């Protein structure tokens, strides 16, 4: 009794390769096979490009949040003093800051004085948010101390104010120009409260990478901010940075215990959680939609393989009479279909990776062709379309494409294997 041939024996690969190389007139690769190849290539390319942009956008958004904002903001509940005035300031901010610094995982604690004021330069006016902060603490904010672009010298911070590039652009300010800050809660007089108007020299201009930060933020020396906002001897809140921002929930209880009974917390997840959740939902929906496109492209393999089986009916009959088993025939046509999916997937991966790597010049060309204004940072929050290749994203696209290609190939391959050799050769 003859021994069984090993699966995917060399002769099976040889026959499959012969069918794939055959010209259309010889019953070889059909137009549908080429369509399925191109379809899979484009679907995998679109899937990888979308996943790369998604990963890049999320990484850039989170990086700008964590690089220019507090990981946790500690502030007090509102109380009413003996004069009937409501206040939520922190009187013992230095002691509170020391207790919080002692918590393992906390890297920095900075007292802040905050307020919203009107900024003026010449005929230009704009609403800004002022952050009163110590110079040494400002130097530890990554997106401010080491921004994408900057002008001036942050070492001169004690001599003036640091402003975002959006504020400078809105007010037409340059280094050394005075910026006038107008606060409605100024000096209390016998005739009421008069606005406080102070002018400061612009000593540093930064671009943090987030439009809303660059457009509204002004940093002022801490002691000057206390005087300007009538916060003598107190702070409005504490800005806390931690080693692992993603695990901020684990530090919530220790932070509350260290801060005291009046303390409340506002984490970066609280501030941007809804946006991150929307990104996650969008990611899942886009993956499902693009997976359907990959499935549609893979389904074309069935059409191409059925046509190949029909054209090779005589060959199938001859091979069966020569002793080829159903399993061998199934593997021959499986190789033909799977090879289409494999080549299409490989080409799609190459195109998708190239798109992610060279997204900046590609986007520049698109922006130039369209006349500019394709990307509006005031809407999207960041200045450019980011892309970040993740190994897991590429592997998920490859696995999905190959899996679907192999599965849909089985059905026409089984049909070819079960073809009756007598019926195949009857009219030959």
DSSP string covering 103-141, please? Answer: STTEEEEEEEEEEEEEEEETTEEEEEEEEEE-HHHHTT-
Own/partner contacts of 303-306, CB < 8 Å, gap of 24 or more, are 303/32, 303/36, 304/29, 304/30, 304/31, 304/32, 304/33, 304/34, 304/35, 304/36, 304/337, 304/340, 305/33, 305/333, 305/336, 305/337, 305/409, 305/412, 305/413, 306/412, 306/415
The confidence score (pLDDT) of residue 225 equals 94
- CB proximity list for 276: less than 8 A, separation 6 or greater: 58, 61, 62, 269
- CB proximity list for 55: less than 8 A, separation 6 or greater: 387, 388, 389, 390, 393
The confidence score (pLDDT) of residue 180 equals 94
The confidence score (pLDDT) of residue 2 equals 46
Residue 189 β-bridge partners: 192
pLDDT along the chain (428 residues), means of 10: 61 73 55 80 91 84 80 87 74 92 93 94 92 93 87 93 94 94 74 79 90 90 92 92 88 91 89 79 84 84 74 70 73 81 92 90 77 59 74 90 86 74 56
| Rounded-to-integer distance, Cα 414 and Cα 88, Å | 75
Neighbours of 270 (CB within 10 A): 12
The confidence score (pLDDT) of residue 23 equals 59
| Rounded-to-integer distance, Cα 418 and Cα 26, Å | 22
The confidence score (pLDDT) of residue 135 equals 93
Whether the Cβ atoms of residue 178 and residue 187 lie closer than 8 Å to each other = no
Distances (CA, A) of 263 to 87, 88, 235, 273: 13, 10, 13, 21
Judged by DSSP in three states, 142 sits in helix
**Please, is 36 exposed, middle or buried when counting C-beta atoms within 10 Å of its C-beta (0-12, 13-18, 19+)?**
buried
The confidence score (pLDDT) of residue 255 equals 93
Give the closest residue to 421 by CA, choosing from 330, 315, 297: 315
Whether the Cβ atoms of residue 133 and residue 217 lie closer than 8 Å to each other = no
Whether the Cβ atoms of residue 157 and residue 138 lie closer than 8 Å to each other = yes
Cα radius of gyration (the chain): 33
The confidence score (pLDDT) of residue 226 equals 92
Name the token pair of 131. Answer: 């952050």
**Among all chains, which residue has been given the structure tokens 């005589």?**
314
The confidence score (pLDDT) of residue 95 equals 93
| Rounded-to-integer distance, Cα 294 and Cα 345, Å | 10
Whether the Cβ atoms of residue 107 and residue 241 lie closer than 8 Å to each other = yes
| Rounded-to-integer distance, Cα 2 and Cα 114, Å | 88
| Rounded-to-integer distance, Cα 231 and Cα 128, Å | 19
| Rounded-to-integer distance, Cα 369 and Cα 428, Å | 59
Whether the Cβ atoms of residue 184 and residue 133 lie closer than 8 Å to each other = no
| Rounded-to-integer distance, Cα 317 and Cα 161, Å | 86
Neighbours of 350 (CB within 10 A): 14
| Rounded-to-integer distance, Cα 121 and Cα 135, Å | 24
**Among all chains, which residue has been given the structure tokens 């004690």?**
158
């Amino acid at each position: 009794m003859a021994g069984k041939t090993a699966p995917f024996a060399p002769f099976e690969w040889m026959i499959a390769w012969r069918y794939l190389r055959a010209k259309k007139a010889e019953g070889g690769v059909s137009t549908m096979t080429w369509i399925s190849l191109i379809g899979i290539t484009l679907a995998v390319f679109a899937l990888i490009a979308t996943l790369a942009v998604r990963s890049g956008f999320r990484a850039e958004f989170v990086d700008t949040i964590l690089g220019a904002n507090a990981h946790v903001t500690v502030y007090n509940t509102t109380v009413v003093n003996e004069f009937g005035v409501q206040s939520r300031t922190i009187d013992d901010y230095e002691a509170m800051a020391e207790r919080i610094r002692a918590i393992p995982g906390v890297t920095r604690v900075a007292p802040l004085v905050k307020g919203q004021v009107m900024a003026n330069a010449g005929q230009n006016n704009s609403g800004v948010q002022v952050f009163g902060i110590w110079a040494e603490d400002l130097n530890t904010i990554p997106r401010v101390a080491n921004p994408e672009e900057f002008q001036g010298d942050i070492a001169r911070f004690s001599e003036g104010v640091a402003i975002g590039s959006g504020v400078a652009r809105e007010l037409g300010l340059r280094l050394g120009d005075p910026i006038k800050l107008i606060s409605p809660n100024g000096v209390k007089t016998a005739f009421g409260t008069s606005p406080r108007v102070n002018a400061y020299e612009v000593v540093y201009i930064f671009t943090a990478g987030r439009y809303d930060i660059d457009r509204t933020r002004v940093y002022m020396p801490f002691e000057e901010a206390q005087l300007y906002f009538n916060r003598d001897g107190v702070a409005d809140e504490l800005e806390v940075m931690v080693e692992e921002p993603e695990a901020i929930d684990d530090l919530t209880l220790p932070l509350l215990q260290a801060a005291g009974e009046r303390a409340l917390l506002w984490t970066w997840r609280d501030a941007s959680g809804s946006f991150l959740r929307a990104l996650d939902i969008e990611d899942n929906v886009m993956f499902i939609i693009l997976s359907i496109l990959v499935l549609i492209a893979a389904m074309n393999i069935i059409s191409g393989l059925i046509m190949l089986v029909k054209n090779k009916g005589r060959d199938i009959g001859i091979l069966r009479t020569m002793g080829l088993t159903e399993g061998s025939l199934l593997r021959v046509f499986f190789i033909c279909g799977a090879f289409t999916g494999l080549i299409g997937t490989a080409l799609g991966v190459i195109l998708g990776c190239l798109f992610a790597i060279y997204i900046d010049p590609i986007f520049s060309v698109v922006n130039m062709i369209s006349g500019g204004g394709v990307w509006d940072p005031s809407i999207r929050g960041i200045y450019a379309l980011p892309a970040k290749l993740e190994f897991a994203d590429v592997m998920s696209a490859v696995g999905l494409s190959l899996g679907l290609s192999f599965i849909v190939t089985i059905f026409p391959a089984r049909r070819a294997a079960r073809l009756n050799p007598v019926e195949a050769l009857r009219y030959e």
